């Protein structure tokens, strides 16, 4: 098992001492970044039955995106696919659809499979086993990573220690697959807290999936209902900066757009300055969650904005 090299992380963390507002987006290499699509961007269409989750690769190809990030619940909770088909059939279908459309299966986002940070040892072990099912799927369809949530624990210290135990177990189970953690509510949406977990894990297939928007610690992160639904925020720009030294994937959350094409709630230029000042190279996953634009319109608007910045 390879151990994480902390030399680069130390130098990257020094970047955090500078003001985030004075960073420059100079010398950005367009080849450094590629664009992928998170399946959650079309969750409404899947939940309504307008599109089968198994046709995700086809939808991505229609939108001229060639790498996809699956969401496990869209095959089990938000649709009846897995009530009618086995995991073995799912693997076969995902591979064939990806091949047919020239699309790469990049990642699986795993949710609702138990609390990896639970204080209950038996519950935590059960959650680990349920996550392994999807880790096996990810390996079978050629993914680079899975994304997990770190839910559970009544205090930061409990959450941290339980998270470390579960992440070490999953990383050791599948050493050739990245096990990434997204800022996804609760303690994990505190960038410093999640970075502290990463600092305590030396296995090099463990990392983060920073999401531009999910820094609501208590409530809903959707800024369209910010005053009503989110009671406590962690600064999203500081949060992404906290998590980028450990990033193995990246989520470009979007909600709505101004007439000039900029995201209404998130300064993408500032975000990409932060991203570009860290060593990360790889995919940036579009995850549109807005309501005003259609799913396709929101995805394409996010794609256009990312391409504009990357190629500037």
pTM confidence score: 0.91
**How far apart (Å, rounded) are the C-alpha atoms in residues 218 and 229?**
8
Residue 4 lies in a domain: no
Question: What residues contact residue 13 under an 8 Å CB cut-off, 6+ apart?
Answer: 245
219 Rama class: left (phi>0) / alpha (psi -120 to 50) / beta:
left
**293 backbone dihedrals φ, ψ, rounded to 5°:** -85, 155
The answer to whether position 233 is within a domain reads yes
| 52 within a domain of the structure (yes/no) | yes
Per the structure, the complete domain to which residue 76 belongs is given by: 32-310
Q: Are 49 and 81 in contact (CB under 8 A)?
A: no
Residue 8 lies in a domain: no
Does 194 fall in a domain? yes
Assess if residue 224 is contained within a domain: yes
Q: What is the pLDDT along the chain (312 residues), one digit of tens a residue?
A: 566 654 445 444 444 444 444 445 555 665 689 999 999 999 999 999 999 999 999 999 999 999 999 999 999 999 999 999 999 999 999 999 999 999 999 999 999 999 999 999 999 999 999 999 999 999 999 999 999 999 999 999 999 999 999 999 999 999 999 999 999 999 999 999 999 999 999 999 999 999 999 999 988 777 677 667 888 899 999 999 999 999 999 999 999 999 999 999 999 999 999 999 999 999 999 999 999 999 999 999 999 999 999 988
Is residue 152 within 8 A of residue 186, CB to CB? The reply is no
Which two tokens mark 19?
Answer: 């003001």
203-228: string of b/e by CB count within 10 Å (b at 16+)? bebbbbbbbbbbbbbeeebbbeeeee
Which CATH number belongs to the domain containing residue 83 in this structure? 3.20.20.150
Report the C-alpha gap between 94 and 137 in whole angstroms: 10
> First vs last Cα of the chain: how many Å apart?
39
Tally of structural domains, the chain: 1
């Amino acid at each position: 098992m390879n151990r994480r090299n902390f030399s680069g992380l130390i130098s990257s963390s020094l970047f955090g001492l500078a003001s985030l507002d004075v960073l420059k987006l100079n010398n950005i290499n367009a080849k450094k970044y590629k664009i992928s699509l998170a399946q959650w961007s079309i969750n409404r269409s899947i939940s309504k039955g307008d599109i089968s989750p198994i046709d995700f690769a086809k939808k991505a190809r229609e939108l001229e995106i060639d790498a996809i990030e699956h969401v496990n619940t869209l095959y089990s909770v938000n649709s009846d696919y897995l009530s009618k088909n086995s995991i073995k059939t799912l693997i076969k279908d995902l591979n064939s659809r990806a091949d047919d459309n020239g699309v790469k299966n990049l990642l699986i986002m795993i949710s609702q499979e138990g609390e990896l940070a639970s204080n209950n040892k038996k519950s935590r072990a059960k959650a680990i086993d349920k996550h392994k099912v999807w880790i096996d799927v990810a390996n079978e369809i050629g993914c680079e990573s899975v994304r997990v949530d770190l839910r559970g624990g009544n205090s930061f210290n409990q959450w941290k220690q339980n998270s470390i135990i579960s992440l070490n177990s999953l990383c050791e189970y599948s050493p050739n697959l990245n096990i990434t953690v997204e800022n996804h509510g609760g303690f994990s949406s505190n960038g410093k807290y999640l970075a502290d977990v990463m600092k305590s894990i030396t296995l090099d297939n463990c990392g983060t999936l920073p999401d531009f928007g999910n820094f609501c610690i208590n409530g809903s992160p959707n800024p369209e209902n910010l005053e009503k639904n989110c009671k406590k925020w962690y600064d999203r720009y500081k949060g992404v900066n906290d998590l980028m030294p450990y990033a193995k994937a990246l989520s470009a959350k979007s909600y709505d757009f101004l007439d000039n094409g900029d995201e209404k709630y998130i300064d993408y230029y500032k975000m990409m300055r932060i991203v570009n000042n860290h060593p990360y190279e790889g995919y940036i996953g579009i995850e549109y969650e807005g309501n005003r634009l259609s799913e396709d319109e929101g995805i394409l608007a996010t794609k256009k904005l990312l391409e504009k910045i990357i190629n500037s």
